[in-house]
Amino acid sequence: GAVVSQHPSWVICKSGTSVKIECRSLDFQATTMFWYRQFPKQSLMLMATSNEGSKATYEQGVEKDKFLINHASLTLSTLTVTSAHPEDSSFYICSAEGQGDNYGYTFGSGTRLTVV
Amino acid sequence: GEDVEQSLFLSVREGDSSVINCTYTDSSSTYLYWYKQEPGAGLQLLTYIFSNMDMKQDQRLTVLLNKKDKHLSLRIADTQTGDSAIYFCAETVSDDKIIFGKGTRLHILP
């Protein structure tokens, strides 16, 4: 079945540095990928929708210069947290929307970011 | 490997009960979740159940867990048009790993 690989699973970084998270669809092409951030009580806030070959669509309140999203190919989207601060510490998860035999949403396993 | 499966579509008449089913493979899961996603929105946690429980009820929502069969279901009583959404089943297998199903689109018939 469809698999989305998300790396790294966890990362610790210093304040002020940047961190890149990759989301890769392994056996299907995903024209649309989504990035979420987990908040208390487990809900996942949609940060942005990433479309291959075009600029990401950010949700209200999400700083696009801080959370850089690139979807350069049909199988890879990246989220870069720039100039990270402790308040950026969270669990980030991506999903990819498949078509045809891979219809539905396939999620990565998430990335735990800790900024110290 | 770890996997969570659920049917992709469900149509229910308004006022009837909706039952969304999910199966999972990892017997070490600690919590199992149901999320609701409305168009253009994030995933809202609807309810969750700890793996040592059989049932949990919260207003119109009833979660049933059959640990032996690794089967989880979400029943929505008196389904309303506002319940139209995509429902995701998910399990946590560790503190930092959550596995989602592909989502069930619930369509409400008048």
Contacts of A32 (CB under 8 A, 6+ apart): A49, A50, A51, A52, A96, A97
For residues B73 and B20, the answer to whether their CB atoms sit within 8 Å is yes
Residue A37, pLDDT > 90, answer: yes
Task: Give the pLDDT band (50/70/90) at residue A41.
Answer: low
Question: What pLDDT score does A12 carry?
Answer: 97
**B42: nearest CB among A36, A105, A107:** A36
Average pLDDT over residues A88-110: 88
Question: What pLDDT score does B98 carry?
Answer: 81
Average pLDDT over residues B10-33: 92
Residue whose structure tokens are 């989220």: A79
For residues A4 and A108, the answer to whether their CB atoms sit within 8 Å is yes
Tokens describing residue B37:
């996603």
The nearest CA of chain B is from the CA of A83 a distance in Å of: 23
For residues B31 and B92, the answer to whether their CB atoms sit within 8 Å is yes
Residue A76, pLDDT > 90, answer: yes
Question: What pLDDT score does A43 carry?
Answer: 81
Alpha helices in B1-110 (DSSP H): none
Task: Give the pLDDT band (50/70/90) at residue B95.
Answer: low
d(CA A99, CA B28): 31
d(CA B3, CA A107): 11
Rounded to the nearest 10 degrees, how much is the dihedral formed by the CA atoms of B35, A27, B107, B88?
-10
- Per-residue pLDDT tens digits for B36-84: 998 878 888 899 999 888 999 999 999 999 999 999 999 999 999 999 9
Residue A104, pLDDT > 90, answer: no
Is the Cβ pair A42, B96 closer than 8 Å? Answer: no
The residue in chain B having the minimum alpha-carbon distance to the alpha carbon of residue A110 is: B97
A103 reaches B (C-beta below 8 A): yes
Residue whose structure tokens are 């092409």: A29
Is the Cβ pair A43, B8 closer than 8 Å? Answer: no
The nearest CA of chain A is from the CA of B66 a distance in Å of: 23
Question: What pLDDT score does B61 carry?
Answer: 96
Average pLDDT over residues A92-96: 94
- Per-residue pLDDT tens digits for B26-47: 878 788 999 999 887 888 889 9
**A41: nearest CB among B45, B98, B100:** B45
Mapped onto helix, strand or coil, the DSSP state of residue A87 is helix
Q: Which of A47-51, B11-15, B46-50 has the highest average model confidence (pLDDT)?
A: B11-15
CB contacts of A9 in chain B (<8 Å) are: 96-97
Among B9, B35, B100, B106, the strongest candidate for a mutation testing the A interface, having the largest count of A CBs within 10 A, is B100
Residue A40, pLDDT > 70, answer: no
